[in-house]
Structure 1
């Protein structure tokens, strides 16, 4: 046959490779002495090789791009071959050895019964693609590959991009997301060798008890379903993939699952026109290429009241084809479903579907029997060959349009670039976050503040046997909260485990209930009686947040929950994108696309802005991830050059920690690698994150004024030049105090050191010269104590660090325990004063002898905590919904305030001339500070950016790491140059 000849030269090389591989594998097995490796018997080997060789074709010289007419192809087919083209058979896309029984059955149906294509179910990326290519080589006619991909390729294929279900997409109130979802889905389908996807669902979900549609539908409003369905379809078809609208004429208003029995909808045609049919009409007018039928009876519009729509000419021919003018592919829903297979034999169902108007027969319960019965039906005159030709012609035309008669093999190398790409994941993550819909938020529990709810219990409730359900939610929540515990109420849970949940509930300050029930049609309740009983036993006085992961109607079961949040899906992807929103790390703005009877009306929802830092990928805030690897190289080279033994770089942009990595080791012995949550001695960053911050707060409150005389606090400043020193001078380093004094040869108590600083004479007139001075900040630390009645560390802990959730920021970290202290790399081998390796104690000797708490040094923190601090500054003093500092105060302190030097109050600013540790690319608005131990942060408000570097460059001795300034500048420039402007 012409079609067979057309492919011979393309397939020969592939089969030679397969034969060589199998021959070598079998030879190896035959020689193996291991009893654990099964060996193919010689006869079986020959049989397997024979089956492959039988598929080879002798190739004449022929142009592979010669146009093949559909009519010619059709004329050359026997009746049996034509009938085979109507059938699309089930396959799992996992690796299959050619000797596997499942593969042999699949290959037999393709080779001997000439089926038209495949409906892939569960599989893996490479397993499905390799299997597709192999099956394509053994089929005379190219196979048409189809797959359900309602929420992306991940609905069936592992490790592909997971998308939020349709209802969640509609909750975003942005139809562009439907287009992007369709485009991402089609892009990955194409890479996998799939030609047609069964999506979008155009059913109008107007029945809360619907057991099969639910969040698969965009909305309970037909116009919304139409709009989002059109956009999804356009996204799919923009990539050259066939989109299939389903389930015609509408599966939304039923409380019966057609997988198990035959649903009946008793609406008349007028009602169908205004609701169920409207979305289908819209997408047909916009050029949808395929429609899938529903196994539902419509007695008021059909002459046969018990006939499923798939088999009913009144539904498909009269309404879909004649009334709606659809001339594309009509696809049956799975013919194995009990709504069909319980009432009709395999062949009878196909004949009836053909007569009704269907073209593609999916998932017959018995394809071989069905093909034989359809052939007999033609011979007996029950159906004409012309009718079969009409559908086969459509199928072949689609195959030709897709270029399958020129090339049917999928390029496996493209999988590396097109499947689960950063771009695809970024779109999926954004849709996921935007879909979250907050219906209730009593007492403003969301965003969660760890200081208000220090102990959180997550209880995941599921009707499956999965005893780890919801673990990803709790794990991600721990990124934002140090004390989150997780328990699962799963099917088969023991009485002891139930008691443990109740015990943990008594421990918690807040209980987050994750409802992981997808659809439950047993009644109005979504939780079963056992689940409801336990939920009602939870402590009534403890606030509760209900998050539904799949079934929005579950909120009706816990009407007294303080928080009700809809997250639409229980996938790990959705869980990870829900957790940040609970803490204000991403905005919440979704709106309800359905009515929840007795609870909420369509379009209800509360909006919350992003108010805290989120941890996310570089692409989410327009970084070139590949470009950011320049930072990796800079840090590795610096470690190699012994600038420091290790460090952590944290990059914050647009409210997102988009890059955070640990490099090297705690010491040059290279025994303990650096981790991103390591805590470093900040040295002079203390001046900003402690003393300057405290002074800003006190200025805000009117308790301190910048022009207050220091003499108002210390009588030692009442005479001479010192009488002119103000708070402003101390903040600008223009007080006249010397840079520092080494008092600790003799003075080794806090009181003695403070008294020495108070009595230190000035070396120049106040305001006349800039001299960076630790002494001025030591004095300001004491002024904070005078004004507040609290030591600097206690004041900051209570006013800033604890409410901000900066749990890794503190003076005297040894007081936090050994576990905390072990996260702190050593700063120096002190051979002069302490005669030991300094670790988890202030590196600065004066701060150490001042009980570890001083205004100039002694603070410890992590990259994540400093990200919170810098985000508070970028937010103009606000974080987590709380205003810590007035915007005008932030602006005042961070802008240039001296003619002598480009500095703010306390803050350093980018040098206007010469080299700057902020790099060459930072804007002129950039402000920050550095620390002697090798720490720094720079904030660029123009780019909503902060770059944080923590190292212990003073280890083993402070004479090391002199190159640190250049490294800071290089990292800053690498980060800024990686931004997609």
Structure 2
């Protein structure tokens, strides 16, 4: 019995466990294995035997395995085992029962034919990880796991981080993004137990009719491919994962798909050296560890004119190994592809690949037959065993370097930490946004202004039968525009659906065509006849734009479109990040890495800045999710304490709505949960969201002056001390007017209330005392109407709300329609004046009896709309590319202007001692609060807005007295979350 077993028995004896000893001795009767596998089994117990956990722990702690010596191990392998190590077989990374036919065939290849590794195709995170561990457990030698991950692990594995394709990364003009993409790919590959990634693609895509490479290539320029390929490779290999450059010597200038036939490239070596080989030389000089061959014939540089490069010594040995001095692993492209399998038997393909210089035989059409043929070739002297040894030695060295002889299994418990974490997702989103490339923008169509194009049809044109194509784009667009219809023209569309598309096109005043048309195996990249007929049937007079989600060359089919935008890929990642750019919510700055013949030259691209808010997540705005989630606890505790039945918190940082959540219910009956898009009665926020910006605008335009006498608008003020009152006094609450009067006990009309205010006696001398007054703001609302000829609600909708896309901001929302009023929680049960539950009508009695429109109250809005409004203030008065207010007027109104209190003109400011803006916001913070439980605070130093909307006066206004502390606690949680 080996000394190893004696040691275990000693351990068991010390533990006093006779039963465990007997079980261990029985289990040590391993089935004899062939060749070196038998010797290796002394270190690795048979996979069918499961050691008790306590014993396993003792073995791992007390037994140190001998370091594997590759040459010694190689010498102990049988010829069959050596040949098996060269083969890498297909597997799907989903759950499989051990009795499933696919699993049994895979297990047989591993146990009986000793294959060297796996090429995983589609799968899920846990499915692939569990299957990997199972396969590693039944294999004598550790398996080498490989996978295509050109645009991240998500190319194959559901639930992982998806990245833009190579051409999209190059469009960012930032090589660091290539490094980050490679690093993310490798991090998630490692967590999944993958040791070698088949990426990056180093082909130079200089043929528009290339049916297989296209956006998989970084560029049509060799130097660009080399630069971005190098950075991607460095990102992968920074995680000790092997990168594989493909497809040597270059697959970019073909118009035949090697999956279906053998492409032929007739270039000479001089041309190859100037273009196709440039990236490969760069990668080899930079230390890439693996190269994949191409199934392409090169008759003008080969001694074997009709032989695919994979099987051609002129390509692999003479150029790759001898000329370029590559010493790493050479992998074949899939040997099942018709460029190989249509001309060579499985065994002959492997034999020729080995003779050409390849090491890793990927995806043979018939591994068993191929292994047998290779074994027979060695026996007959067609191949030497030394040639087999050379490749097997390389593979075993990689396995040793990866530590697989010590630990071959995956830690399943780490998957939900390493895979698709927030940091990786945010980097992917950032690259995706930066990749967008605008080639044409006639008449400034982008960014889309909702008041200019009020009805949008998104028409997704696809060359398959996916009826959901483009759905994620439509969903995101509706965050920025209320009227977006989405229709899909797919391969099996019915006549009724076709007619519905035509009717929707007639309804729209803007049509956006989302092209999900991909290049096909014949090299065609144009819309087909049916697609062209549909597009030509769209109304001529309706402006159209085109977005390509795959093949960038497709824009050439629609030259008359007003805009051409390249988004590179039809993944949800790209769709989600395209929508904000359409509306100015993220900048556009990509540049074209290829030439689109007859349309656009290389490096073409227009730039548009971000001008509106974007809906994102905390990471995208530099906020810590963990810290920010303190808000959830604060809000839930406030609801439990009956401060309010529910509410919405919105946080805007750096132009990004980084946090927005609805909490609780509309009422304490808990029938209707609050949605983050709910609309609330703003109460006194009306003062700074309607009346104050109206006055700012009119002052900017010179139509009103801060020092205008109120008497110039109301003759009733042209007497006594009232004649000294100015607009400035009204804004600062120093007019001398009282805070409010009930009035509505007797006065129940707009004219009567305004008349009473005009005749209201002063309680203080103007300019001497601060007295927060609703009455002064009611008067200013009337002044706006006198100056503009429009009532305050109409003036604000025409001047601010509609052009800014604030489609949830209204006075009298009940009159707008149920799509607005149904989103409004009840405000209060009124037992004094209206004797009913107040909902979708002004809570403030004076505003209600003034037809719902007053300068001090009556406005309703949502968190998203207030985010847009406050961001306009932070932007210095611009939003969506339009200047609404001057930076000077915003600075004047928001800085301290009162000698009595820390207030601006109209706006409140953070108190020096205590404030509902919290203790951590900056001294420049300004905003306002509303009696119904609403507030917003804007911190210019942090480029930050905190918006809280609640109905804290429900069911009665005596409720919710603790609201100020909740506001402060939320503000402090937000500031704490800001990452330096």
Q: TM-score, normalised by structure 2?
A: 0.94
Q: Distance in 1 between matches of 2:5 and 2:536?
A: 71
Q: Is the 8 Å Cα contact of residues 179 and 233 (structure 1) preserved in structure 2?
A: yes
Alignment of 1:327-726 (within 5 A): 327-520=327-520, 522=522, 525-726=525-726
Distance 1:344 1:66 in 2: 43
Do residues 937 (structure 1) and 939 (structure 2) align?
Answer: no
Q: Report the 3-state secondary structure (helix = DSSP H, G, I; strand = E; otherwise coil) of the residue aligned with 1:661.
A: strand
- CA contact under 8 A between 1:588 and 1:607: conserved in structure 2? yes
SS of aligned partner of 2:84? helix
Rounded to whole Å, the distance in 2 between the matches of 1:968 and 1:465 is 51
CA distance in structure 2 between the partners assigned to 1:839 and 1:558 by the alignment:
50
Quick one: distance in 1 between partners of 2:591 and 2:339?
A: 35
Q: Spell out, residue by residue over 1:353-403, the C-alpha distance to the aligned partner (whole angstroms, 9 max, x if none).
A: 111110000000000000000000000000100010000000000000000
The match for 1:29 is none
Q: CA offsets per residue over residues 824-871 of structure 1, 9 Å max, x none?
A: 111111111111111111111111111110000000000010001001
Does residue 96 of structure 2 align to residue 96 of structure 1?
yes
**Which has the higher mean CA deviation after the structures are superposed, 898-907 or 118-127?**
898-907
1:134-153 → structure 2 map (5 Å cutoff): 134-153=134-153
Distance 1:494 1:482 in 2: 28
CA displacement at 1:901 relative to structure 2: 1.3
Q: Determine the structure 2 residue equivalent to 1:185.
A: 185
Question: Would the aligned equivalents of 1:207 and 1:255 in 2 still touch at CA under 8 Å?
Answer: yes
Shift of 1:764: 1.2
How far apart in 2 are the matches of 1:236 and 1:317? Answer: 26
Q: TM-score when scaled to structure 1?
A: 0.94
2:15 alignment counterpart = none
Deviation at 1:822, TM superposition (A): 2.0
Residues 889-911 of structure 1 show CA distances to partners (whole Å, capped at 9, x for unaligned) of: 11111111111111111000011
Q: Deviations over 1:578-598 (max 9, x none)?
A: 111111111000000000000
1:980 aligns with 2:976: no
Q: What is the Cα deviation at residue 523 of structure 1?
A: 5.9
The 8 Å contact of residues 519 and 525 in structure 2, kept in 1 or not, is answered as no
Q: Which residue of 1 aligns with 2:738?
A: 738
Residue 729 of structure 1: aligned partner: 729
Contact in 2 for aligned 1:520/1:526 (Cα 8 Å): no
Residue of structure 2 equivalent to 1:70: 70
User: Is contact 2:256-2:522 (8 Å) kept?
Assistant: no
In 1, distance between residues paired with 2:900 and 2:369?
Answer: 93
Equivalent residue number for residue 946 of structure 2: 947
Whether the 8 Å contact between 2:518 and 2:525 is mirrored in structure 1 is no
CA distance 1:333–1:878, shift in 2 (3 Å): same
Q: Deviations over 1:243-274 (max 9, x none)?
A: 00000000000000000010000111111111
Q: 1:967 maps to which residue?
A: 966
- Quote the residue 2:202 is aligned against: 202
Tell me how far 1:813 sits from its aligned partner: 1.0
1:288-307 per-residue CA deviation (whole Å, 9 max, x = no partner) reads 00000000000011011100
Deviation, structure 1 residue 915: 1.2
- Which residue in the other structure is 2:48 paired with? 53
Residues in 2 aligned to 1:646 and 1:56: alpha-carbon distance in whole angstroms: 55
Contact 2:210 2:523 (C-alpha < 8 Å) held by counterparts: no
Measure, in 1, the Cα distance between the counterparts of 2:65 and 2:860: 69
- Contact preservation (8 Å) 1:525, 1:557: no
Q: C-alpha displacement at 1:519, in angstroms?
A: 1.5
Matched-pair contact (CA < 8 Å) for 2:680–2:950: yes
Q: Residue 167 of structure 1 aligns with which residue?
A: 167
* 1:455–1:483 contact (8 Å) kept in structure 2: yes
Alignment check: 8 A CA contact 1:525 1:556 kept: no
Give 1:310-329 correspondences, 5 Å limit: 310-329=310-329
1:853-868 aligned at under 5 Å gives the runs 853-868=853-868
Question: How far has the Cα of 1:779 moved from its partner?
Answer: 0.5
Equivalent residue number for residue 35 of structure 1: none
- Name the CA shift for 1:5/1:159 in 2 (closer, same or farther; >3 Å): farther
Residues 56, 755 of structure 1: CA spacing in aligned structure 2 closer, same or farther, 3 A cutoff? closer
- Give yes or no for contact 1:165–1:215 (8 Å, CA) kept in 2: yes
Partners of 1:794 and 1:577 lie apart in 2 by 34
- How far apart, CA to CA, are the structure 2 residues paired with 1:135 and 1:954? 63
d(CA) in 1 for partners of 2:524 and 2:193? 42
1:497 Cα deviation from its structure 2 partner: 1.9
Unaligned runs of 5+ in 1: 10-15, 21-50
**Deviation of the 1:494 alpha carbon:** 2.1
Q: What is the alpha-carbon distance in structure 2 between the residues aligned to residue 5 and residue 771 of structure 1?
A: 90
Name the counterpart of 1:42: none
Q: CA offsets, 1:476-516, max 9 Å, x none?
A: 11111111111111112122222221111111100010110
How far did 1:281 drift?
0.3
8 Å Cα contact 1:937/1:947 also seen in 2: yes
Deviation of 1:765 (Å): 1.1
* Aligned position for 1:263: 263
Supply the distance in 1 between the matched residues of 2:506 and 2:537 (Cα, whole angstroms): 11
Distance, in Å, in 2 between the alignment partners of 1:538 and 1:669 is: 50
- Return the offset for 1:671: 1.0
8 Å contact kept, 2:205–2:213: yes
CA distance in 1, matches of 2:403, 2:365: 30
1:841 paired with 2:827, answer no
Q: Residue 541 of structure 1: CA displacement?
A: 0.8
CA distance in 2, matches of 1:520, 1:91: 26
Separation in structure 1 between the aligned mates of residue 280 and residue 932 of structure 2, nearest angstrom: 67
Deviation of 1:518 (Å) = 2.2
Aligned residue in 2 for 1:228: 228
The CA deviation string for residues 714-742 of structure 1, in whole angstroms up to 9 with x for no partner, is 01111111110000000000111111111
> Using the alignment, how far apart are the partners of 1:442 and 1:545 within structure 2?
10
**1:64, distance to aligned residue in structure 2 (A):** 4.1
- Cα-to-partner distance string for 1:54-97 (whole Å, 9 max, x where unaligned): 89999997834421100111011000000000000000000010
Moved more, 625-634 or 198-207: 625-634
Tell me how large the CA RMSD over aligned residues is.
Answer: 2.0
Partner residue, 2:26: none
Contact 1:87 1:116 in 2 (8 A): yes
State how many pairs are aligned: 941
Contact 2:680–2:951 (CA<8 Å) still a contact in 1? Answer: yes
* Aligned partners of 1:167 and 1:218 also within 8 Å: yes
Aligned to 2:27: none
Distance 1:496 1:829 in 2: 49
Q: What is the alpha-carbon distance in structure 1 between the residues aligned to residue 707 and residue 47 of structure 2?
A: 91
Q: Structure 1 residue 762: deviation in Å?
A: 1.0
Is the 1:617–1:658 Cα contact (8 Å) retained in structure 2? yes
Q: CA deviation at 1:520?
A: 3.0
CA distance in 2 between partners of 1:925 and 1:518 (Å):
52
The whole-number CA distance in structure 1 between the counterparts of 2:471 and 2:744 is 53
Aligned to 2:16: none
Cα deviations across residues 789-834 of structure 1 (Å, max 9, x unaligned)? 1111011111111111111101011101234222111111111111
CA shift for structure 1 position 53: 3.4
1 CA distance for matches of 2:818 and 2:122? 48
Cα distance in 1 between the residues matched to 2:964 and 2:93: 54
1:242 corresponds to: 242
C-alpha contact 2:525 2:551 (8 A) present in aligned 1 = no
Residue 315 of structure 1 deviates from its aligned partner by 0.5
Partner SS state of residue 949, structure 1: strand
Aligned residue in 2 for 1:25: none
> For residue 40 of structure 1, what is the aligned residue in structure 2?
none
Cα distance in 1, alignment partners of residues 374 and 521 from structure 2: 37
